[in-house]
Structure 1
Amino acid sequence: MRLAVLSGKGGTGKTFVSVNLAAAAKKAVYIDCDVEEPNGRLFFRPQQVSSAEVHTLLPVFDGSKCDGCKKCVEFCRFHALVYIKEKPMIFPDVCHSCGGCALVCPQQAVSEEKRSVGVIETGASENVAVVTGILNMGEASAVPVIREALRKGYENEDLTVIDCPPGSSCSVMESVSAADYAVFVAEPTAFGFHNFQMVYELVRLLKKPCGVILNKADGPYPPLEDFCKKENIPLLHVFPFSEELAALGAEGKIAVRENETLKQTFQNILKKIGGEDSL
């Protein structure tokens, strides 16, 4: 089973939920797709870590063959190519590495070269295989790194927990696209509720079954609870403000490995979403 853990905004406790769901299982894979700020490894502290670069392909133009027909420029729907001073020029941050410019060039003047965009780290933490995507600083698109992290994590058929980026961008869609179930982590605030509705709309369009965990609650929050009832979204659990959880998080500890009651809580959440086989 593949669980995608999402939040409409940063700071809701998405990584807290993701890490503990994976650690509460008998055996699991944790994939950190929040590649601009991957924090799951700070809690898991994986051992025997190996890393591999992630590359995209960029077109390279042979000036001795190019006759200035501009077919590559006309083909590029992303407007990553322009023709300046009698030669093509590429904007790397816009290029989607589709290879179309090389295919349409009648003079075969276009080849491709690798360009590093990030790193995938793999390791283990007790019962959890940890896969971490890390985007190079300054890169415009996280999708290539997320795609490779998912490919690596999906090699294992154990329960898989995907720690998605916050929000509802292309990176989130890439992270959740192959998931079997979506777990929303929401804050009981007007801002948190608004952003939760946006990411819920994305998951609804993808037709994914889903449930909500309300985190850092200091009491009922009728707007979100009424919305969930109206949309028939199960409320999986409510975590109140907790000094113990705050202290464990500050120390980089995994709650279910420190507290048996919390372990049972996360195992119950897994049961509610159909993950009994992982326990």
Structure 2
Amino acid sequence: MKKSKNKYSPWPAVALCLVFLALRIVDLALFTDLETSFPTVGPSAARWGAALVGAAALLVMGRRADEKIASGRKSVLGVMMAVTGTVLVLAGLSQLLSAAVVWPSMVLLTAAGVWFFAMGWRVLSTPEGRGGTAMPPNAVQCLIPTAALLWVLIQRFSIIPAASARLGCTFRVLGALGALLCVGMLCKLLYVPGGTYGCTVQQYGSLAFYFATCHELPQAIFELVRGSVSEQTLLTSLAMGCIGLCGLAAMLTTVPRSNPTKKDKAD
């Protein structure tokens, strides 16, 4: 009986992300001024420097992944994509509540939400184990979420004043970047089923979960508690966090099982 040669597990990367999540929560609760996003103790460079070191570690871990993508077991990913789509639509429509509507944000975020929900429904409706044989939809649709996340990234980096010392701005930019990488990975997963890009799934999925969920999302929650965040910013951060959870779901559901297959047992 032959056993699978794949010994990679995504759980060490997940554990590293959770460690940084705990550190981020402690830092926000005790050592950060939430109104200005400036640290009250220690230099800000130590924070984002450590975050970049953690990201580099995730990239190194992801390189050990098997390039083969497992079929089936993607119901969790479908649910998370549907939830993400709902939050993105709310984030887009919330622009109508502001005095000056930013129409590109409203249109792009709403369209991206519809895409996420539709793709999540497609994943849920695809029979288990047949993800590689289903006819993929039009890949041009990938431009919709890509344009939306690219707009968010540009808006956060250039339109919203950003400085490396303001941790809130820095981690929002990194969160949008992680979400953008995750969208590219999801497009591969959905439109090129059965491909050999396991390393990409693990690396981009972990980076999205790391930056968008473990760094940006706690900040949005703390700002919500203090009442220092607008509805648009809150919903957009929640959407980024949900995209990070999509990356986590993709990581966990596409790793080939380490158990021997029926063919291996026959051998």
TM over 0.5: no
- TM-score, normalised to structure 2, is 0.24
RCO greater where, 1 or 2, for CA within 8 Å and sep 6 or more? 2
Higher strand residue share: 1
- TM-score, normalised to structure 1, is 0.23
- Structure number with bigger Rg: 1
